[in-house]
Structure 1
Amino acid sequence: MTLLDRFRARPPWQSPDPQVRAAAVRQLGADQSEVVATIARDDEDPRVRRAAVQRLDDPLALAERARDDGDESVRQEATGRLVHMAEAAEDPALAAAAMAGLGDARHLSALARTARLPSTRAAAVARLEDPRALAAVAKTAPDPATRQAALDAIRDPAALAEVALKSEHKDVAVAAVGRLDDTAALQTVAARARNSAAARRARSVLDARPGVTAVLAAEAVPDPPVPDAPPPPEPEAVAEAAAPAEEPAAVPPAPEPSPPPEPDPRERERQERIALCAKLEALTGEELVDYREESRAAWEGMAPRIEPPELAELEQRFERAMAECRQRFDTVAARRAVEKETAEREAKEKETQARAREAEVRRRQQTLARAQALASRLEALARAEKPTLREVERALREERAVLEALAAVPERKEREALTERLKAGRAALFPKAQELREADDWTRWTNAAKQEELCKRAEALVAEEDLEKTLHRLREIDAAWREVRQAPRGQAETLWLRFKAARDQLHAKLDPYVAKKKEEGQANLKKKEELVGRAEALSGSTDWLKTADEFRRLQGEWKQIGTTPHRPSQVLWERFRGAADRFFSRRKEDLDRRKHEWAANLQRKEALCGRAEEVMGSSDWEATLAEIKRLQAEWRTVGPVRKSKADAIWQRFRKAVDAFMERYAQRDELGRAAAAAEREAMVRELEEIPAGGDATEVAAKVLAVVARWRQAGPPPRDATDVARRFAEARNHVVEAHPEAFRKTELDPEANRSRMEKLCAKVEALLPKVEAAAGASLAERLKEALAANTMGAKGEAEARWKAGAAEVEAAQAAWKRLGPVPGDAGRVLGERFESACQRFFASRPRPNR
């Protein structure tokens, strides 16, 4: 690695830290799939490779990682990605490519059950060879076509029996029964199949076989006997039925069935135990494990009713059958283990050969790809205007190595085509390489003179006494030397040694000065660190004005500090500027927020001012006073506004409130004045009604004014003149148009009749009260003694009060009456007033 390469920026996925590489892999885009594939293949840390595998979308690359990666977790991740890709893919080609990288029966079985595409499910079933995996697919696959394909691929009778026995799908369970030939398997299916249709199918197949019916009848070993069932046949009958018949005999007509006799419990137990032993003796295949445990539980669950000698004999037979089952199971297990080991070994050999073939194919593909890329690069360099000599020479060297690798590629057509392209590219690039070499030689020759000049300048600088000036010029000389560092190979070393000797002398003189400057720089660096700490402490302050002034002072101190090392100083400056930026950003945000709040508060206060100005002229005193108080309370809850507008908005609000409060203090005078003005307006309105106008319109106007007068309430005592004028104006109009007011409240005739009734009513009360008032004390005492009570003295008072209530009611009704114009009205008024005065003057005097 050159010095330039060390300072060149490296991408994060090439970081020495595995965690950084893993995080960088997760951030790579979809257009960087080649980088992801390279990381998944070549990274030394399994965590990084696993992260890269999670980003891979190429099924070929995933298959390679699932097969060749040295870490189990990476292989599992790649396998899981392939399963998911094949399962969810909607493109048949992509699903097929993903499934091609899977070889485990578990994964193929899962794809056969859950893959989205029917073609994927069918291909997964076609690749399955393990009968147990095929049976699992046939039993549980949701798709009927997949179940049927898996069932058709099963050749193992035990797997067929498992499908018939345990599948809940009717189609495959019945089809599996149809392919079973073993009587024991059919009996097991008939007795214990999960699907009832499969059980019925197995029983029908067994019924069609001679001699099997009696054995099948005894198959319900674990189930309790049914009391109403007929007794099982004798063992001799079972044996005879099981034996093959030589010739079919004529079946005599069946006699009429008779009621079955009550079964003997001991005989039933004997038959159940015999059937259980027979079943154990006939067990094979997968049923050996499960049924042995069930048989043991069923045997121990039977209540011993038969004789002990016979029971002991049956127990010996049962234990012997159990031992034989265990031996058969061990034999089957050993055979299957050998078969499995052989199959695994053959599979590994096939896999190794396949990997070798794939590796060879990959190597050839990589060689071809490398040759194509190099040919393109040679052609591009030949077309380039200013390629570098290093690029050209590296491409020419690589061309020779690729030609040697192409010789081993068996594809003759591609090999010859690429060989011709490489040779043509080399032929086109070689003249340009010669030109670049000549130009490089010329550059080196000119650089030699420049290096000689730089050596002289460095040697002359040794005598300079100004150390700061010397240091500055030495840096300029070093920078110039880097630009002309390539010299002729024969002179390069001599010139470099001469230049280095002068530089060593300068460094010997400058090192103490540089060390002192370094110490000063470190001290200045500490000062800047202190300023940075103070700035960072102030960055969270909310005292905006003082903190802003403090930041300006810190910036002035920063400028006064001397020189410091560049990189640390740059870091500190970034921190210092970041702290200042954070503070002033927060200050600006706070100011913006406060401006927003001020604007919102100003809007609320303007709304309050508008409302106060709206109600300040209202005469609904109490409601308006409550509203003003509410507005004042709400004003106090509103926050501040901008200072330039605070006083103006407050004066506006206060002016509106003060205007109403002044009116509120004078509300009585204002109310009376308003009422008087309103009554005066109504009187003028009546007086201005022309007597000769349309009678209907005049009546309507008068009635409307009278209604308003009544709503205004009785006039005050000092308004008798207005009331008189109102009555005169009203009566004048009514006298002019009496017919227009018929059947209204101002109807003269109706009002006259009502007045007469009220006068008569009050006058009717006068004889009683006047008689009671005029009686002498002696007469009243005599009447009291005649009544034999002194308590009757309040009776007259009570009668008067009752009459007074009627008179007051009559007075109220009189006030509600309309006018009666002319002398008739005046006479009735005087009559009513006289009657009322006489009534109230006749109140009984209390006894002394």
Structure 2
Amino acid sequence: MSSDPWGRVDETGTVYVRTADGEREVGSWQAGSPEEALAYFERKYEGLVVEIGLLERRVKTTDLAPKDALTAIEHLRAAVTEAHAVGDLAALAKRLDALTEQVDARREERKVAKAKASEEARTAKDDLVTEAEQLAQSEQWRAAGERLRALVDIWKGLPRLDRKTDDELWHRFSHARSVFSKRRKAHFAALDAQREDARRRKEKLVEEAQALSGSTDWGPTAARYRELMTDWKAAGRAQREAEDDLWNRFRGAQDVFFAARSEVFAERDTEQRENLTLKEELAIEAEKLLPVTDLKAARAAFRGINERWEAIGHVPRDARPRIEGRMHAVERAIQEAEESEWRRTNPEARARAAGLTGQLQAAVDKLREQIETARAAGNNSRADKLQRELDGRQALLDQALKSLDEFGG
């Protein structure tokens, strides 16, 4: 008979393993010595040790699912319980118990992590739905469309929730995308209609512009072209493929007209510059009439100069105010001389001025007497009031005397 701390072989070759509950028969050995029998069953024990060690490493170093780990543990536990092996089977059972606790803890951690991930996914999907519903009302068609497509990709990358919650959120998300799609489609349909209307309006403008391109009625035609340009801008844009062609035709018709006008105006500008030189000479001649000393001679000379002025014709537009202003200045000076002469020689006006002067002088004299009387009586308040009235009448009198002087005394 042979034995070790964990097992023995009796005289019949029966092999036993020692456990806390007593000995348990694990096999029979007839092919060799008892030592060889124990060694054989000890190797079976070592095999169990290796399997448990491998499972421990898998649980520790891999993401083995808790369910699969527990299945493997229960399989090894049954193997240990029914093992035909010699060794410390209780120690193996304790290792399996510890491994079970470790797996249960990991399963709880995963459960918490899964719940957290699910809550985060729900929050993320809620946020996606909220943003999609806001974007559904946007009119930034390109940016909002691109963002909605990006939200779909983000949604696909998030874990699924429970079916009811996930379906409800997806329905809202999908509805928001559908609302935006319908609004965008309606917008661009309306835009297409507007562009077609713009194309028809611009086609008519092109036709009129081309019809006017040969006109020589320069002023009214140029004004009409400006109106057509205003109408063009108000018409809006046509379809892209039509807009450039319409514009080229519209602008081309204007170019024909304005090129012809520019050629005519270039000739006219040369003539007008020559006219300006002649009128400058006449302005110098007219300015020599000032100051007016002989009204009759000055009037006659200016009339002759003005007749030659009118016969010359137009000058360049930018020079017109300056050159005409010089002639007008001479004309005003002669008119003022005429008015001064008329006032000086008009007996009725002189009589009226003299009468007004006399009335004012009488009023001033009377006020002075009243002031002296008031002051003598010690009534300074009345004297001050009368003095203010006197100051006003004196100013009127001074002006009347000046006007009377203009009539020669």
Give the TM-score range, shorter chain.
0.3 to 0.5
Compute the TM-score of the two structures, normalised by the length of structure 2: 0.35
Q: Per residue, is there more strand in 1 or in 2? A: 2
Does 1 or 2 have the higher relative contact order (CA < 8 Å, sep 6+)?
A: 2
Compute the TM-score of the two structures, normalised by the length of structure 1: 0.19
